[in-house]
Structures are given as C-alpha cells and as structure tokens.
Amino acid sequence: MSKQLRIRHIVFLVPPNSTLLTMVGPLEVFTKAIEQFDMVDKDIDFTYQTHVVSMGKGRQIDTSSGLSILSEGCYTEIDYPIDTLIVTGLARHLEDNLKDEMIGWIKAQAKTTRRICSVCSGAFILAEAGLLDGKKATAHWSRNEALEQMYPLVNVQIARIFIKDGNIYTAAGITSGMDLALALIEEDLGQSFALHIARWLVLYLKRPGNQTQFSSYLDSKLIGNPTIRRVCEWILEHLREDITVEKMAEYAAMIPRNFARVFVRELRVTPAKFINKLRVENASQHLIETQLSLDEIADNCGLKTGENLRRQFISFMEITPAQYRKSFRSSWADVSV
C-alpha cells in the first residue's frame, strides 16, 4: 500500500499586466517535476501542488503579451498552508500593484511560509513588504537601479540571475524564473532530479545563481559613446596583454585622466575593474568549454597565474573556478546526446 504524501503548495501570485513568461516558465518547471516524481532517487514524503492566484478581484488575469489567463481566484481566498510563494513580474504600472491590503497579506504569509520568492519586478512587491530589508536581492537589470533608489535598505545585486538570502529568493528577469524553479527543486529533491527536469524541458543547462544576467562586453555594446565602444572592442582583442589606462587613452586619442572619467561615466565601473571582469567572463567560458588547467586559462585571459584567476573569479562570481566548472560539467554529464 502506497504511503500518503504531504502536499507542498507552490503558489504563484500574479499581478495584473504580468509578464507572462515570469509565471508560466517556473510553473512549467514545477508541473514537469510533479509529472516526473517517480524519477526522484531518494525517499520523500511529499509532493507538489501548484496554484495560480491573482492579486486583483476575479479569476481573469490580463498579461503584457495580450493573452489572458484564468486563475484559481484571488489571493484572499487561499485556505491552505503555502509552502513556497512566488510573486511574478509585471511589465508596467508598478505603483498600482503596491496595495496596502496585499502587502499586509504578504507580510503575514512570510511568518509561516517556508520560501518567499520573486521573479523580475516582483522584487518590488517583496521590498514594499519589508522582506528584502538588509538582504541581498536582484530584479531585471533594467529595474535594479530603481529598486535600489526606492528601497535603500535592500542590498541590490545588479548582475546576478537569482539570489537566495535566508528563506527569501529573488530572480532577475524573465527566463531566470526557470533557473530559480530548478534551484528550488534541487533543494528539495536533489541535483540529479533537477538536471533530469532541465533535460526534459530541453533547457541548455541548469545555471547557477551567481551567473551574471549579461556580459560586460554586451554592456559595453549598449553605451552611447562611440569612442568608449571602440576601446571596449580593442580591450577584448588584447585581453592577454598588459592593458593600462595610458594605452587605452592613447587608442582613444584622449588624455588619460579625461579618458578614465568618461569611461566611468559611461560604464559606471573603472577601466581596471571592467578589464578584470571581462577576463573573468572569458575564463568562465574556458572553464565550461575546455579541459585547460587554471594556469593555462589564466595565461589565455591575461590573468597571468592560476592563483590570480582564482582570486579574481571569487571576487566577481562569489564561487571558485573549480566549483563553477563542476556545476556546469554536472549539467553536461547527465545530458544524453
């Protein structure tokens, strides 16, 4: 006789005009996990049940893509214990969704809910409830500056794709909600099962949360100053070399002091930090795609030694090169080609 499994209720709290993928992406991850529970390789006494509830009155939720979804009902109608609450993102009208009644409800749920999560701009709702005060958090890269300004007590991490701080989880933008869902499943059911779900959904790989939302190189392509853009291209082509402010300024035909000032104004980071970040990002690709040693990778990326690579990698990625390589290799190792 099969044993009775406890239900862990996974609740998606969806605002009006929600960005649809911030909800359906992680929802599909949990749905697939429920379908594949017989593949879990350890004894468990629970299963998941997912719920989609609206912030507004009524069951219909209009989304930013023009599609409407039919929820179970309003959040005020929930009569079961919530295990994991996931507040999804919205495309616009942020202030209209910061309603006192709903914020008060979230505060109350935080006292008994095992995990409180947000995807994209859902972080603003958690911040309004005070749940992010003194905690590391992230949102979509286009909203992080506003999050920092509106809620100065939040330690905003600009580039991370998702962050766990205590029982609070925040995911960056759009598809990172799927990465967050996989991480939550891994916590509950193990890495092997999470990788199985990632493979089933044909996800490229299961990304660790400290992977950045975007590369420094891509960031440089978006700036308006054509001279600084050209310098960034030049830096990328000369990463193995010793690159000084003087060399960059000479290439830009500018005085070094003026060049450094303009560079910081455009990219909001010093030239030295930008170069090191590019080198670390370049090294991260070598760690994933090659079998090269740390010393060999460091030489290829201009970081000179494996020890310097390790130090810079920990500084930017908050993880060792070995741990980073292992996290990606474990994803690849389980993929059948």
Which is it for strands 68-70 and 136-137: parallel, antiparallel or unpaired?
unpaired
Q: How confident is the model at residue 142 (pLDDT cuts 50, 70, 90)?
A: confident
Which is it for strands 6-14 and 46-54: parallel, antiparallel or unpaired?
parallel
Name, in order, each residue with C-beta under 8 angstroms of 274's C-beta and a sequence gap of 6 or more.
216, 220, 232, 235, 263, 267
Name, in order, each residue with C-beta under 8 angstroms of 301's C-beta and a sequence gap of 6 or more.
239, 240, 279, 280, 282, 283, 286, 309
Q: Is the pLDDT of residue 216 over 80?
A: no
Residue showing tokens 């070094």: 256
pLDDT of residue 103: 93
Between 157 and 84, the higher pLDDT residue: 84
Retrieve residue 22's tokens: 């911030």
Q: What is the pLDDT of residues 249-269, one digit of tens each?
A: 999 999 999 999 999 998 888
| DSSP H or E run through 331 | helix 321-333
Retrieve residue 43's tokens: 């004894």
pLDDT of residue 2: 57
- Stretch 24-30: mean pLDDT: 95
pLDDT of residue 192: 81
Q: How confident is the model at residue 194 (pLDDT cuts 50, 70, 90)?
A: confident
pLDDT of residue 291: 85
Q: What is the pLDDT of residues 58-111, one digit of tens each?
A: 899 988 888 999 999 999 999 999 999 999 987 666 666 678 899 999 999 999
Query: What are the φ/ψ torsions at residue 245 (nearest 5 degrees)?
Result: -60, -35
Mean pLDDT, all residues of the chain: 86
Retrieve residue 44's tokens: 């468990």
What percent of the chain lies above the pLDDT cut of 70? Answer: 87
Return the minimum-mean-pLDDT range out of 51-60, 121-130, 205-214, 243-252: 205-214
In order of their start, the domains of the chain are 6-200 (3.40.50.880), 216-332 (1.10.10.60)
Retrieve residue 89's tokens: 């993102």
Between 181 and 223, the higher pLDDT residue: 181
242: left (phi over 0), alpha (psi -120 to 50) or beta: beta
Residue showing tokens 């090659």: 290
pLDDT of residue 331: 40
